[in-house]
Amino acid sequence: MNTNTLDKLRKIKFFGMFHAFKTCLETGQTTEYTADELLAHLVEAEWDDRQNRRIDRSIFYARFRYKASVENIHYHADRSIDRNQIMRLADCSFIGRYENLLITGSTGIGKSYVASAIGHQACIMGYRVLYASTPKLFAKLKMAKADGSYIKEIAKVERQQLLILDDFGIQPFDAQSRAALMEIIEDRHGKTSLIITSQLPVSKWYEVIGEKTIADAILDRIVHDAHRIELKGESMRKKRQLEPENSYQ
């Protein structure tokens, strides 16, 4: 009977229950539980398994640049990172309030890592997240315009509750990319959240976006009431070369 039960649990994809019940049988723990305790144990195992698989799927589809975690962020005094601010952001309540986060600083300072770490937390909290290199995303949208898949690609971006635009401002926006950026920001404003990382200070973003009227409209929606992290100090990439055992940022 137990063999049949295990077989059915596997076939209906109750993998958490399957492994928990199999372990109980192999270790003889079934005799230690009352019927309701055993049922609670199996349901809890199934719940945990499904939650873990959901998180793994969310992280996979987010396409993060780094496998990052908030616990592994460096809080050196010279980096100008406020641990309390990071912890507040890591609870992801800013996403529920449709607020944005802007992370600026020089190259190699760890902007992408911090953004990815908060993105991972958002996946754990059940939010839909997409990480994208800004130049690559808008190059992809240009190609989508050419092959007729633009609506599908832009809809994928708009479905995300948190969009991470990394390396914003590396290259100026041309007219087509500027229009796509305006569409994304307009559709998401007041409904979802953004994390933007950039080597440039926010005051320089007007020049990168171009077309003053459009730049004003975009930045008014992005910057207003946004949380800000301005990273300082030495490049973390250089530090990793000197201290190869430190893989965190």
**Following DSSP, what letter does each residue of the chain receive, concatenated?**
-HHHHHHHHHHTT-HHHHHHHHHHHHHTGGGGS-HHHHHHHHHHHHHHHHHHHHHHHHHHHHT-SS---GGG----GGGT--HHHHHHHHTTHHHHTT--EEEE-STTSSHHHHHHHHHHHHHHTT--EEEEEHHHHHHHHHHHHHHT-HHHHHHHHHH-SEEEEESTTSS---HHHHHHHHHHHHHHTTTSEEEEEESS-GGGHHHHH-SHHHHHHHHHHHHTT-EEEE--SS-HHHHHHH-TT----
Which two three-digit tokens encode residue 165?
């635009």
Query: Which residue segment(s) compose the domain that 184 sits in?
Result: 63-242
The answer as to whether 86 is a domain residue is yes
Residue 206, number of CB atoms within 10 A of its CB: 14
- The pLDDT assigned to 238 comes to 58
For residue 241, the model assigns a pLDDT of 56
Bridging pattern class, strands 193-198 and 227-230: unpaired
Domain shared by 196 and 120, yes or no: yes
Question: Residue 75 CB: number of other CB atoms within 10 A?
Answer: 10
| 143 and 34 part of one domain | no
CB 184 within 8 A of CB 157: yes
pTM recorded for the entire structure: 0.83
Closest CA to 204 of 239, 170, 248: 170
Tens digit of pLDDT at every position of the chain (249 positions) = 788 999 999 999 999 999 999 998 888 877 788 889 889 999 999 998 898 899 999 999 999 988 999 999 988 777 788 999 999 999 999 999 999 999 999 988 899 999 999 999 999 999 999 999 999 999 999 999 999 999 999 999 999 999 999 999 999 999 999 999 999 999 999 999 999 999 999 999 999 999 899 999 999 999 988 999 999 877 666 555 555 544 456
| 57 lies in the same domain as 84 | no
Do 106 and 177 sit in the same domain of this protein? Answer: yes
Q: What is the pLDDT of residue 246?
A: 46
Among candidates 184, 199, 189, 200, which has minimal Cα distance to 137? 184
The reply to whether 105 and 15 lie within a common domain is: no
**In a shared domain, residues 70 and 42:** no
Same-domain pairing of 53 and 137: no
Residue 248 lies in a domain: no
Same domain assignment for residues 46 and 69: no
